[in-house]
A = this chain, B = another copy of it.
């Protein structure tokens, strides 16, 4: 592994995506990416007794799917990197408890899929792991009651609000597979002072701009060098701000850009306001839609840039702004 430029890592023996599992809930199954999920649940509770337990179950199922698709047993996975939005990351703890895999909890808010995949790739590349898993989840109902209001209140949502995906994604990183992790970048905490917790896209866009700009600088590449630059869950508001911010640096990514939060739902028909969000949004789009297309050969070289809003209800109530972070991975189909 070597460092290139200021912030980018280049893997010397690129770790490979051995398999991937994508899980979605009812609304996700009704969306445009329906066919890309390995499994969807019509019952949002997943037959558990609380939304939190349902979310843990999403993560458990995503790992089970990734393991089954690769024909790998839990004891053949050396590390699992996982995190989620719930207080103290309990979806990860309780979802992964039974697997008995050495566990390193990650907190990157909605950037968690990129962060866990980056850590798994580093450990595989340097020989610390033969195989490592990266997984994250989110659940609309557990997120609403923790971050906003309990669903029973029937609160109105603002037009800038995004819809937390009920979804999970797991990627297994190892020695074989068509898709390689070529480079990675860990983002800085970027804070331009946005304070509206109903506008996460605006809070995260500056971090996306910062990390994408730095990655292109470090690697000496242009947006046109990639089939697609996927951001995590900026939604429509954050996407517009990302374009404007990058244009101030004479960078136009609009012709090569897609946002997972805009891909997951049909905004015309599904009442999700500015788009999808939550750790499970970019995780399930990566581990379903994107990796399916890379393995089928339609996509060859992409950037996956997941963004996270590093806030809590307490910090917002205490008047703090909402800093963002964006981690990036370059995925490439092997020769």
Contacts and interface: CB of A to CB of B under 8 A. Distances in A.
B107 A186 contact: no
A217 interface: no
A103 B50 CA distance: 32
A104 interface: yes
A102 interface: yes
Contacts of A253: none
Contacts of A320: 90, 94
Interface stretch (A234-242, A265-273, A283-291, A310-318): A310-318
Interface string A8-36: 01000000000000000000000000000
Query: Which of A2, A130, A320: most chain B Cβ within 10 A?
Result: A320
A198 interface: no
B109 A106 contact: no
A123 interface: yes
A53 B126 contact: no
B87 A312 contact: yes
A187 interface: yes
A232 to B, nearest CB: 15
A157 interface: no
Contacts of A7: 102
How many copies of the chain does the oligomer comprise? 2
A318 B186 contact: no
Interface in A84-116: 85-90, 92-94, 96-97, 100-109, 115
Query: Which of A1, A92, A126, A130: most chain B Cβ within 10 A?
Result: A126
Nearest to A9: B128
A3 to B, nearest CB: 7
A107 B127 contact: no
B89 A107 contact: yes
B315 A52 contact: yes
A224 to B, nearest CB: 26
A189 interface: yes
Contacts of A49: 318
A125 interface: yes
A226 B133 CA distance: 33
A90 B128 contact: no
Nearest to A49: B318
A83 interface: yes
Nearest to A104: B186
Given A105-B108, A122-B126, A310 B88 contact: yes
Interface string A297-334: 00000000000001111110010100101010000000
Interface of A: 1-3, 7, 9, 49-50, 52-53, 78-79, 83, 85-90, 92-94, 96-97, 100-109, 115, 118-119, 122-123, 125-130, 146, 185-189, 191, 310-315, 318, 320, 323, 325, 327
19 contacts: A1-B126, A53-B318, A86-B314, A87-B87, A87-B314, A88-B312, A89-B107, A100-B188, A100-B189, A102-B186, A103-B189, A104-B106, A104-B118, A105-B106, A105-B108, A105-B115, A106-B106, A106-B107, A122-B128
